[in-house]
Amino acid sequence: MISTFVALSLGQVDPWIAICSLATVFVTVFMGFWSATKSKSAGDFFVAGRSVSVGWNASAISGEYLSAASFMGVAGMVMATGYDALWYPVCYACGYLFLLLFIAGPLRRFGAYTIPDFAEGRYDSPLFRKIAVCFVLFIGFFYTMPQMKGAGTTLAYIFPGLPYWAGVVVVGAVITLNVSLGGMKGITLVQAFQYWLKMFAIAVPIFILASIVGFYHTHLGANKTAFEATANPAHVERLALPAKAPKDEQWIAPFGKLTTKAVDASLAAAKTPEAKAELEAERRPYSLLYTYSLIIALVCGTAGLPHILVRFYTNPDGVAAKRTTMWVMILIGIFYVFPPIYGVIGRSLTPHLYDAVGAKGTDKVVLELPTLLAGKDHALLGSILSGITCAGAFAAFMSTFSGLLVSMTGALAHDVYGRILKPDSTPEQRLRAFKWAAVLIGAVSILLGMQVEALEINFMVGQAFAIAAASYFPLLFMSVWWRGMTMPGAAAGMLGGGLAALVAITLTSISDVAAAGAKKITDASQLAAYWADHSLAKVLADTWVAHPLARILCEQPAIWAVPLSITLMLVVSKSTAAKIPGDIRMKMLVLHAPEALGLKQEYIKEHEGLGH
């Protein structure tokens, strides 16, 4: 079936784009297979034997971190909404600082394999481990969805006849196969390679492109601010913006379309002039609130993403973990300067993307922009550069999805199978379990990814971060720095904050997906029937219109969910103070004492001669 689609669309496929993309896939798969011959033991599969050097590990973390959201989503979002979208790359990069300041060192010293290991070790509670495992899987699935959207969008771009869902299936299947064969050791190598591929793929095309069509500042300068009487003299070529595109002064200034969406929707529905005036007055304060909530979600969420945290255990010691974080910040900081440039130039030169929706919308500006050179007598160069950005996009969603798959599969195989279902399983059985868990999780991710074509890549990642910010971040932060935490307190805070954020976010997504479906229907009677089928979404959409503040707080829940989680932890821990682990001082020493003191205890001991 897929081959039919490929055959149908092959006539329009640019050979350079197809070659670069296929090369990326083959190199990734080859490296996975090649390293599979080297990783034999269960330890190799889970955390790469804990001996990856700082340079490799920093590149690998960066490679894993720079997802489809960073590579394609940030550019698309900057193009679609302007200044406010810049918070995403900034906080993606800067959230790492929080990880470094409060969590990276202690967690590494504690020496547990995974977050569930840490949860169990810190509170001596197997029950809490099970709860933590469920959360690893939960947050992970929220983060796989945007990667799948990236895959579907890119394949639909390369093969214009291929439907979105087919792209999701093909890419998901390839990565799942790769992970189930290579494990984490393969992934470290592949991730590191992919960081440098992505860096090359985002930086080189934009330099060449900008030297021909004009640089970042000239394109940005062509957008008029609200305080400039006339438009700037056009130094660069600019195509007319369609009606759907935000106006210059709104796009370039803070508190634009992204943060005022909820109030604008209410304004459109408001009937009396008084109601309109009231909403106008609320617009800017609400935007500020939205911005702060977004910042909290992204900064704290970074510090709580399970697939990032697990990598700290692949450092040989705590000092190396800190140095690794420093390098990660430099590597991803440099990278994040580039995607907004695509968004800015895309606004000038590819405004037709504003009119498209789903996989054909602004999310593909990174892929589309280089092909403009074809119209400027650089046809071959345009194809090659577009091929390079496609390769980068492949590297982006493949590496992040691989990393997620490893951490989620690890949780399933190591915890659910190895600890709960079959504690006496042999190493061979566990390896087999790892492979099957990878297939299972890959399949679920593909199914989920097929549902989210209507949602922006970057927006979905922001939501995964909000859930992580309200669950894992408080758990890790409080467990590391507060001796008085008890297991019930930790569980109540993590579940309370995380689930509250999850529910709030799901409510907004349900109404957004339904609204996107409604937009495709033009006939009024069919529309009524459609909304009757989606009554919950209808109720939600009406609620958002009546109460824009509620919509903002549900869409960006971090501002209330993080304090809620921490408060729950404090209150419940205080009231169950008798349950503080007896050897809490020892645990705190292991978390905080310098490793030179020789206090470092490997929490989980690997027995000699087993698993090799």
Partner 1 sequence: MRSIAISKGAAWLRTPMSESNPNSPQSEAFLARLMRDQLRLSIACALCFAIALVALPLLNYLAPEFMAQRVAGFTLTWLILGVLFFPFVWVISFVFIKRSIALEEAEAAAAPQTNQR
Binding mask 526-565 for partner 1 (x = CB under 8 A): ----------------------------------------
Nearer to partner 1, 15 or 609 (CB): 609
330 binds partner 1 (CB under 8 A): yes
Nearer to partner 1, 533 or 602 (CB): 602
Contacts of 227 (CB under 8 A, 6+ apart): none
Both tokens of 102, joined, read 């409060």
Task: Find the binder of partner 1 among 163, 182, 340, 392 (CB under 8 A).
Answer: 340
Task: Find the binder of partner 1 among 124, 161, 270, 357 (CB under 8 A).
Answer: 124
Of 463-522, binders to partner 1 (CB under 8 A) are 481
b/e per residue 3-39 (b: at least 16 CB within 10 A): eebeeebeeeebebbeebbeebbebbbebbeebbeeb
Task: Find the binder of partner 1 among 49, 160, 333, 517 (CB under 8 A).
Answer: 333
DSSP tag of 71: I
Task: Find the binder of partner 1 among 322, 360, 364, 534 (CB under 8 A).
Answer: 322
Of 369-428, binders to partner 1 (CB under 8 A) are 426-427
DSSP secondary structure letters along 231-251: PPP--S--PPPPTTSPPHHHH
Cα separation, 217 vs 319, in Å, equals: 40
| Smallest separation, CB 12 to partner 1 (Å) | 35
Stretch of 23-31, 116-124, 440-448, 561-569 lying at the interface with partner 1 (CB under 8 A) = 116-124
Single-letter amino acid, residue 13: V
Contacts 24+ apart (CB under 8 A), 357-362: 357/454, 357/516, 357/519, 358/164, 358/453, 358/454, 358/516, 359/149, 359/152, 359/153, 359/156, 359/157, 359/164, 359/167, 359/453, 360/156, 361/76, 361/80, 362/76, 362/77, 362/79, 362/80
Nearer to partner 1, 390 or 591 (CB): 591
Binding mask 57-86 for partner 1 (x = CB under 8 A): --------------------------x--x
Task: Find the binder of partner 1 among 50, 238, 247, 284 (CB under 8 A).
Answer: 284
Q: What angle do CA 352, 354, 359 make, to 5 degrees?
A: 95
Task: Find the binder of partner 1 among 13, 204, 550, 589 (CB under 8 A).
Answer: 589
607 binds partner 1 (CB under 8 A): yes
Stretch of 89-97, 147-155, 261-269, 449-457 lying at the interface with partner 1 (CB under 8 A) = 89-97
Stretch of 157-165, 323-331, 357-365, 528-536 lying at the interface with partner 1 (CB under 8 A) = 323-331
Of 233-262, binders to partner 1 (CB under 8 A) are 252-255
Instruction: Kindly tell me the burial class for residue 243, based on how many C-beta atoms sit within 10 Å of its own C-beta (0-12, 13-18, 19 or more).
Output: exposed
| Smallest separation, CB 319 to partner 1 (Å) | 6
292 binds partner 1 (CB under 8 A): yes
| Smallest separation, CB 376 to partner 1 (Å) | 22
Cα→Cα distances 572→474, 487, 488, 576, 577, Å: 14, 9, 7, 6, 8
DSSP secondary structure letters along 371-385: GGGGGGT-HHHHHHH
Nearer to partner 1, 252 or 564 (CB): 252
Stretch of 153-161, 203-211, 263-271, 336-344 lying at the interface with partner 1 (CB under 8 A) = 336-344
Cα separation, 535 vs 544, in Å, equals: 14
Nearer to partner 1, 126 or 242 (CB): 126
DSSP tag of 224: P
**Residue with the two structure tokens 């994040």:** 336
**Residue with the two structure tokens 């805070």:** 493
Nearer to partner 1, 299 or 452 (CB): 299
| Smallest separation, CB 322 to partner 1 (Å) | 5
Cα separation, 266 vs 546, in Å, equals: 7
Using DSSP's 3-state secondary structure scheme, residue 422 falls into coil
325 binds partner 1 (CB under 8 A): yes
Contacts of 320 (CB under 8 A, 6+ apart): 54, 57
Task: Find the binder of partner 1 among 283, 538, 579, 592 (CB under 8 A).
Answer: 592
18 binds partner 1 (CB under 8 A): no
DSSP secondary structure letters along 564-587: HHHHHHHHHHHHTGGGS-TTHHHH
Binding mask 198-227 for partner 1 (x = CB under 8 A): ------------------xxx-xx---xxx
Contacts of 228 (CB under 8 A, 6+ apart): none
229 binds partner 1 (CB under 8 A): no
Nearer to partner 1, 32 or 221 (CB): 221
Task: Find the binder of partner 1 among 98, 342, 397, 434 (CB under 8 A).
Answer: 98
Stretch of 134-142, 286-294, 303-311, 466-474 lying at the interface with partner 1 (CB under 8 A) = 286-294
329 binds partner 1 (CB under 8 A): yes
| Smallest separation, CB 326 to partner 1 (Å) | 5
Backbone conformation region of residue 214, classed left if phi is above 0, alpha if psi is from -120 to 50, else beta: left
Q: How many residues bind partner 1 (CB under 8 A)?
A: 75
Cα separation, 139 vs 307, in Å, equals: 10
DSSP tag of 419: I
| Smallest separation, CB 476 to partner 1 (Å) | 13
